[in-house]
Structure 1
Amino acid sequence: MPKVTANDLVEHFNLEVLAGEDEVHRAITTSDISRPGIEMAGFFTYYPAKRLQLFGRTELSFFQQLTNDEKQERMEKLCTYDTPGIIISRGLSAPKELIESAEKTGVPIMRSDVTTTRLSSQLTNYLEAKLAKATAVHGVLVDIYGIGVLLTGASGVGKSETALDLVRRGHRLVADDSVEIRQQHGNTLVGRPPELIQHLLEIRGLGIIDVMTLFGAGAVRPFKRIALTIHLELWDENKAYDRLGIEEATMKIIDTEIPKYTIPVRPGRNLAVIVEVAAMNFRLKRMGINTAQQFSDKLTDVIEEGDREEF
């Protein structure tokens, strides 16, 4: 499972640690962030203790209006052993009651000079990316006309060779052999290469080549949203392949279904052109132009008109 700690936030956002330095490796398990305004008013019934807590000018201004006993009580309830950390924005001063309570339970108290709203957005985006569900898929990811196409298939079927031909045609390689995929923002799949094999492509008989060195920086991408998967398989004479394109198959990756095409491979077929056209046709469908469906509708109209003439 992906893991983020308060120390990761300190390093990434250059935060100042005010208290709880010994507990900065406490795990953050959710990307949700809480601004404990209602807790400052004394309502802790639904206090989300396992969330990162963010204090802004509003919360701290209200806190200063409380009595000394209320201040101590609220901070003690706020700093639990489950709380992964508390961040103060705008470079504001931390109340001494907060520091004292945090030291008792080991809650890391951090401070940033960034405004509250912007800091909240940055923290949420960072945590969602780091805590997103992830998996690894054997395949090749290529950016074709802005469409992230994941090529899958058995080893040796020609995925890398097809990707090389696509790069020569002006498209961009994201990952070869292994694609690390994260599910972000609900159902968005983002693929990227493992750091060790970034920009590399393996061609049987030739070896490993560096695509960026050979074709330039414009031939690669560090990551890409996956919109379409194309499965390459050796041609099976006994299998009936889709010839119209009306039936739409899907492939499930993590919790997301994405469209899937199955393309049979045999000598004489230009896979790079076929994959390129598949990406363009998928783009047309997203724009509302479905050629296969239009042909089917016209064919139905012709048949119905012929039936009417017979009667």
Structure 2
Amino acid sequence: MMDRFTVLDLLSLEPKPPNTLNLRCICGRRGLSREIYSTDTNRPGMALTGFFEKFVGERIQIVGRGEFAYIECMGEKVLAPQLAKLFKYDIPCFIFSYNLEPQEYFKKAAEEAGIPILVTPLASSLLSIRLIRTLDYVFAPTRTIHAVFVEVEGTGVLIQGESGIGKSETALELLDRGHSLIADDAVLLKCLNGNTLWGYCASKVMVHHMEIRGLGIIDAVKLYGLNSIRDRQTVEMVFQLEAWNKNKKYDRLGTSDAAINLLGVDIPLITLPVKPGRNIPIIIEAAVLNHRLKSQGVNMAKDFNKSLNRWMENKNAKNQWFQDTAVKWG
């Protein structure tokens, strides 16, 4: 999350479609350094009538056609006391929708209070939705981790492990097999909506580049084409690479439900021991396909376990029948 996000930052942000805001400042530029604290917005209709009970002045105030019609109808003499009280709040800014511009007395009051007035052609409801999405992204919890992030069969895969274990080499093999790179070495994680983890390249310099020991820096786009890269992806699986430990018991049936918590989101975790002869990229591909089957209700490990239990029960039943028959017939 950013340390400080101001109205000027909001104007400069220019969110990409479908979240474009098309904002422009028409007055109160002295207050562009005002800080935005909340991801929520507010409609100041009740405050304009003089009712300030539970008025949330720390939020961005959106003025739509209803509020604008009231301002236009009442006039300066009626609204002067309400505006005087309204502009004492620490309001980050006003945003007028539908390209509506307030009367001169309203602009003058905002100018004196140092509160920016922004205008957008968007409808009020659409503006609220896009603004909340944008602010959710800005204020989302973030974390940078040492890992490689790739997209395998449409699934976002984080590859973690100690330095030199072979994370980048694994990602390089996956790229050669037709998958995509999001970030190498440093991955920026963002938790959106409290339950969805997104991954990005943490470095603007290293974006779409990889560092391979003994080879140096390579450009994934130039080597594998535009289809080999992605700007971002949701994190759906984490693979932990570690040196093979013969004294450690690893999951051999696939029934483990291990997970790692990243920014409050539990992500399935698979630990892969690395040793000569193991093709880690192919194992990751198989694990991703297996994960997709699980998401569709097909769990091969549990199905195998059930089949094994049925076979054992049938075998025990047959053995018991033969024993009982042998005793009966002496």
Tell me the TM-score normalised to structure 1 length. 0.94
Q: What secondary structure, in the 3-state scheme, does the structure 2 residue paired with 1:189 have? A: strand
Picking from 249, 270, 273, the partner of 1:264 is 273
| Matching residue's letter, 1:95 | Q
* Aligned partners of 1:235 and 1:266 also within 8 Å: yes
Give yes or no for the alignment of 1:164 onto 2:185: no
- Asked if 2 retains the 8 angstrom alpha-carbon contact of 1:75 and 1:97, the reply is no
2:131 — aligned with what?
Answer: 123
> How far apart, in 2, do the equivalents of 1:257 and 1:73 lie?
52
Contact preservation (8 Å) 2:200, 2:233? yes
Aligned counterparts of 2:233 and 2:156: Cα–Cα separation in 1: 6
When residues 153 and 62 of structure 1 are mapped into structure 2, their CA distance, relative to the original with a 3 A threshold, is same
Question: What letter is aligned with 1:114?
Answer: L
Q: What pairs with 1:67-86 in structure 2 (closer than 5 Å)?
A: 68-86=76-94
> Does 1:178 pair with 2:179?
no
1:207 to 192, 195, 216: 216
Runs of 4+ in 1 over 6 A off after TM superposition: none
For residues 64 and 89 of structure 2, the distance between their equivalents in structure 1, rounded to whole angstroms, comes to 22
> How far has the Cα of 1:124 moved from its partner?
1.8
Q: Distance in 2 between matches of 1:89 and 1:24?
A: 19
SS at match of 1:122: helix
Match status 1:132 vs 2:140? yes
Give the C-alpha shift of residue 98 in structure 1.
Answer: 3.0
Change (3 A) 1:290 1:195: same
Give yes or no for the alignment of 1:19 onto 2:20.
no
Q: In the alignment, residue 11 of structure 2 is paired with which amino acid?
A: V
Among residues 240, 243, 264, which one is paired with 2:252 in the alignment?
Answer: 243
- Displacement, 1:285? 0.7
Preserved CA contact (<8 Å) 1:52 1:84: yes
Map 1:249-288 onto structure 2 (within 5 A): 249-288=258-297
2:65 to 41, 57, 63: 57
What are structure 1's unaligned runs of at least 5 residues? none
Using the TM superposition, name which of 131-140 and 80-89 deviates more: 80-89
Q: CA RMSD in A?
A: 1.8
Aligned mates of 1:112, 1:28 — CA distance in 2: 18
How far, CA to CA, are the matches of 2:185 and 2:104 in structure 1?
54
Distance in structure 2 (CA, Å) of the matches to 1:151 and 1:168 = 16
* Deviations 1:102-158, CA, capped at 9 Å, x for gaps: 233321111112222222222222211111111101000001111000000000000
Please report the TM-score for the alignment, with normalisation by the length of structure 2. 0.89
Using the TM superposition, give the Cα deviation of residue 296 of structure 1 relative to its aligned residue in structure 2, in angstroms: 1.6
How many residue pairs end up in the alignment? 311
**Cα offset for 1:67?**
6.3
Give secondary structure in 2 for the equivalent of 1:196. Answer: coil
Confirm or deny: 8 A CA contact 1:80 1:107 kept in the other structure. no
| One of 56, 61, 64 as aligned partner of 1:48 | 56
Farther-moved stretch of structure 1 (12-21 vs 207-216): 12-21
Q: Distance in 1 between matches of 2:255 and 2:81?
A: 65
Q: Deviations over 1:222-274 (max 9, x none)?
A: 11111111111110111000111112111111111111110100000001101
* Percent pairwise identity: 37
Which structure has the larger Rg?
Answer: 2
1:101 counterpart residue number? 109
The partner residue of 1:302 within 289, 301, 311 is 311
Decide whether aligned partners of structure 1 residues 25 and 299 sit closer, same or farther in structure 2, where only a CA change above 3 A counts.
same
* 1:64 alignment partner, SS class: helix
Measure the CA separation in 2 of the matches of 1:227 and 1:64: 52
Greater CA drift, 59-68 or 179-188: 59-68
SS in 1 for 2:66: helix
Question: What residue number does 1:152 align with?
Answer: 160
Aligned partners of 2:24 and 2:118 also within 8 Å: yes
The amino acid that maps onto 2:165 is V
Distance 2:10 2:112 in 1: 22
Contact kept in structure 1, 2:58 and 2:89, CA below 8 Å: no
Aligned amino acid, residue 54 of structure 1: I
Aligned-partner SS, 1:262 = strand
* Partner Cα distance (2:210, 2:98) in 1: 46
The farther-off stretch of 204-213 and 26-35 is 26-35
Aligned 8 A contact 2:151 2:181 in 1: yes
Q: Residue 8 of structure 1 corresponds to which residue in structure 2? A: 9
**Which digits, 9 at most, give the CA deviation of each residue in 1:17-58, with x for residues without a partner?**
222211102111222111223333433222121111111112
